[in-house]
Structure formats: C-alpha cells, structure tokens
Amino acid sequence: MMIHAPEHIKSIKPYVPGKPIEELERELGITGSIKLASNENPLGPSPLAIKALRKGLDNLNRYPDGSCYYLRQTLSERLRVQPEEIIFGNGSNEIIELAVRTFLRPGDEAIMAHPSFVVYSTIVQAVQGNNIIVPLREWRHNLQEMASRISEKTRIIFIANPNNPTGTINTKTEMSAFIERIPEGVLVVIDEAYYEYVASSDYADSMKYFREGRDILILRTFSKIYGLAGLRIGYGMARAEIIAEMNKVRQPFNINSLAQKAAVAAMGDEKHLAKTKLINEKGKKYLYKSLDAMKINYVPTEANFIYIHLEDKTALPIYTSFLKKGIIVRPMGDNAIRVTIGLPKENRRLIEALKIIVKEMR
C-alpha cells in the first residue's frame, strides 16, 4: 500500500534555490563561473569569523549550546533588547516556520505581498493555512490594501522590508499608518534580511514598534551582509511572551556551535561590514549606469540585488544564455531577472555578457 501525502502538501511548489557553481560547471564542463543569484556577500565572511570557526573545530564532538548564550548576550547588548526577547533559527527561514507553526491553525489566514519571499506562502500552505495575496503597488508593499484585507481569520501578516525580489522599502509614514490599523491577535512579521544595506533616511524603524510592545516579530539574518549563508543562522525579536510560545515548537540544538561562534565574531568586525556596504554602493551605481545606457529597465534598490525588467517572456532565454557564459542569475517569472550586486570584476562581466545576449536576441 502506497503512502499518499495530503492534497495541501502535494500541491506545494518546492522552493528552487539558486544553481550552485559546482553544478553548473559539471553540467557545461566549464570553469571560472560566478554566482549572482542568491544575494550572498561577494567578499565572503569576516576574517574574524573564519578565525573563530577554526578555533571551534576541536569541539565538534559536543552538542552546541542550546541557549546560544554568548550570541544572545552579544545581540542583547548590541540591540538593547532583553535576552528573552530573542529567538535563533537555522536561517531566518526557520523562524518564519516557527511563527507559522505556533500561531496559525488550519483555515487561518496569512496576508503577504506578491512578488515577495516565496517561503511565506509555502509554509502557510504546509500547515493548511490560507494565503491572502496582495500585489505590489509600484514595486512596493501596498500596505493600505494589505490592512484592508484583514479579517477575523487573519493571524499573521508578512512584510519584507526591503522586499525580495524588488529591493524596495516601505517608508516610516507608510509603516506607522499600517501598524495603527492592526487589531489585537494579529502578528506582523517584518522580514529585514537586507536592512543593513539600506541607505534611505526614510526607512521605517521596526524597533520603534517593538519597543512600543506591539505584536510584531522582526527577522534578521547573518546570511547576507555578514557572509555566513553556509552556516544558516538568523534571529528574531519580539515580546518575550511571543518568543516563549515559539520556543515551545523550536527543536533543541537548532543552531550549530560553529554558526554561533562565527556570528559573534562577525558582529565585531565593523571594518568588514563597512567594506561590504561600500562595494555594494559602488556596484549599484555602476550597474545603474550600465543598464541606463542599454535602455534596460530596473527597480532602484535598497538591498544588495537589482530586479531587472526584460521584454515579455525573455527571462528564461536570457537566464539560460547567462548560464552558458558561466554566470548564474535568478529568473523571476517570464519577464524579469534578479541579479546580486557582486565584486567590480563580476559586475563588469555581467554587463558585458548582457550586452552580447541582448544583441543576439534582437
């Protein structure tokens, strides 16, 4: 007798990660490829994090500290929050899942934007929740419409700020007006995976709402600007009562010992963070200038990637052409690609390849 998954599981579309460099080079028999698909830090991790990792290798026979004590204390002091107001996850993805499993019952609703981070809808569907999808307006979350879609069944609202894949933000005024419309019993999850890259002075301060005691959960990660994507570690901040409930469904030892050590060390390397931001800003300006010269549309970004518009139904052919040239980008539907801002030489290689591809297609 065969085992059959329930329909709400069978109908889930699995998340497709960016193609690894090793896989591409095996398939095409090439070398020297670059990956600009997953919004990773092109500089790699902090040298201090690498040093901490090496020192921790001798104790891998021991289970990690399940409380993440030193990392928790470091973040608590750095962000001026109480230790019990922090939760750690295997990437911020796990914290999204913990929030959904904790607060969403079958038939409950979660509101989210589209396009945005696809993991939100996948996890909600996995617990038999209902996804309420609100299209972006001018490439940003339409917070007014999202608030208007709140019903008695709404339990969670997801806001990616900056948004992935568009790199756009919602402003202080927009967010404040939105927060005031949230009724009791609705958790607002503000996903700030890219907040360290934001340059705009009008970026909404989620910590303000946190300190007011609102029902919000702020998500951040060490995968992006800190360059620790391979170690999978993120954190969330919320009122202690919210965190306590989420911890009931969190697996013990979910953060490995090396990730904890590397994260503590990475936070102390301000020089590495500053260099990362500088390279990102310079790369952004170069890509803007190059795309403008080619008359290719894009969405101005506050993150470390750019959402590029293409002619209809050309995203997959262009993505495939990039692969043949040893460049991995991210296709986004039929008419857009998302490109990570890389090192200067990577950005130049991307643009030169794009010029050739566009010329060939036209």
What is the tens place of the pLDDT at every residue in 192-206?
A: 999 999 999 999 999
Query: pLDDT tens, 103-124?
Result: 999 999 999 999 999 999 999 9
Give pLDDT, residue 30.
86
H helices within the chain, ranges in order?
Answer: 7-10, 21-28, 47-56, 69-79, 92-103, 119-126, 143-148, 172-179, 206-211, 240-247, 257-267, 270-293, 315-324, 344-361
| Domains of the chain in sequence order | 17-44+271-361 (3.90.1150.10), 47-267 (3.40.640.10)
Give pLDDT, residue 5.
82
Cα-to-chain-centroid distance, residue 341? 15
Peptide bond into 162 cis (omega under 30): yes
Residue range 25-37: average pLDDT?
A: 91
**Residue 170 pLDDT greater than 90, yes or no:** yes
**Residue 1 pLDDT greater than 70, yes or no:** no
Give pLDDT, residue 7.
84
Distance between CA atoms of 299 and 288, rounded to whole angstroms? Answer: 10
Radius of gyration, alpha carbons of the chain: 21
Distance between CA atoms of 345 and 184, rounded to whole angstroms? Answer: 50
**Residue 43 pLDDT greater than 70, yes or no:** yes
Looking up tokens 């085992």 gives: 3
Among 17-26, 28-37, 57-66, 162-171, the least confident range: 17-26
**Residue 224 pLDDT greater than 70, yes or no:** yes
Among 23-27, 107-111, 137-141, 278-282, the least confident range: 23-27
The percentage of the chain sitting over the pLDDT mark of 70, rounded to a whole number, equals 100
Give pLDDT, residue 50.
97
Give pLDDT, residue 24.
85
Give pLDDT, residue 143.
98
Give pLDDT, residue 77.
97
Return the closest-CA partner of residue 237 out of 132, 99, 350, 330.
Answer: 99
Residue range 231-239: average pLDDT?
A: 98
**Residue 317 pLDDT greater than 70, yes or no:** yes
**Residue 10 pLDDT greater than 80, yes or no:** no
**Residue 15 pLDDT greater than 80, yes or no:** no
Other CB atoms within a 10 A radius of the CB of residue 87 amount to: 25
Q: Do the beta carbons of residue 331 and residue 19 sit within 8 Å?
A: no
**Residue 362 pLDDT greater than 80, yes or no:** no
Mean of the per-residue pLDDT values of the chain:
95
Query: pLDDT tens, 94-107?
Result: 999 999 999 999 99
